[in-house]
Amino acid sequence: MSAEEASELEEEEFSSAPLLVAGETIYLQIAEALAGERLDKALARSTTELSRTGIQRLLAMQAVLQQPAAAQYDQSLWQRVASDKERVKAGQWFALQVPAPTPMALQAEAIPLAILYEDQDLLVVNKPAGMTVHPGAGAEGWRGTLVNALLYHCRDSLSGIGGVERPGIVHRLDKETSGLLVVAKNDATHQHLSSQFAIHSTTRNYLAVLKGVPEASGTINAPIGRHPKERQKMAVVAHGRAAVTHFRRLHSWQGSLSLVRCQLETGRTHQIRVHLAAHGFPLLGDPLYGRSFVAPQRWPEEVRALVGNFSRQALHATSLAFTHPKTGKRLQFAADPPADFQQLVQALHSLA
């Protein structure tokens, strides 16, 4: 869990107390609304940290403990759960002993980086679309990431707070989202930057091409959490964490597509994609939160082809501002969208 996430844990609808994390153990209490539910389902609905499948794995590993009524907070008296099919009671406490990730030797790779700024404490990178920020599940996820490139570029000078999988990573972008990221070279810088993200003193602006035409400007204030049925997705849910996105429409094209600038106040997973889709305006090219867009027949063939072949979410982190942890100076950075995004917008401008 990042410092930003840890500082922004919100009380959820299905948990009578905020999620508590102590080392590698997550503590959950069953709310009234979940009384009588099957254990694995109740635990999955009590946290966005783990999927139901992940909780079932912990149960299979006998890594879930329950608190007998007389045990209070003495975990030495807690009992391991015998079956994931048992029904829960309101007020029950459970401890999920999440194992530490298995360390793997990340390889430094000579992958070119677009570096806008670098000093002894941090660097700002313009990440290309298609590059994963840090390794994920599966052996193939441990190669070709931004972290692999950073290990080669920075050698041993990266913050270790993110652990073996995420050295130096303070915040991230989705694989298919391009744009600006700040990376910490030491732990003090990492902690300072994380606190800035937590108190929302950073400024992050994105450009996005949407389906439809939203109002001229607005704010989407809607909590985001794990989708209740499709665990690979996030969604606007009542028991999610606070999420706020401000947007301003910059252009629209024949009532079909729009270019907007989004400013993040919070930084939830898939936040812009989820918020705009829930608002009725999914991002062009987003296969997870939107449907494919079919351009009107009246549009020129070259424009229809360019729009139809845009195969990633049309989202670019265009500007980033934060306070340098050591100098106290406010730093501001901007990066133009990559060629595919610019070609898309130029083609759409030809419709006017």
Supply the residues annotated as catalytic: 174
Residue 47 DSSP SS3 = coil
Q: DSSP letter for 140, please.
A: G
Run of H or E including 189: helix 187-198
Q: DSSP letter for 122, please.
A: E
What is the rounded CA–CA span in Å between residue 262 and residue 209?
Answer: 11
CA 183, 186, 190, 192 torsion-angle sign: negative
Quickly tell me which residue has 């090219």 as its tokens.
285
Q: DSSP letter for 79, please.
A: E
Phi, psi for 38 (deg, rounded to 5): -65, 145
Residue 263 DSSP SS3 = strand
Residue 188 DSSP SS3 = helix
Token output for 108: 């430094």
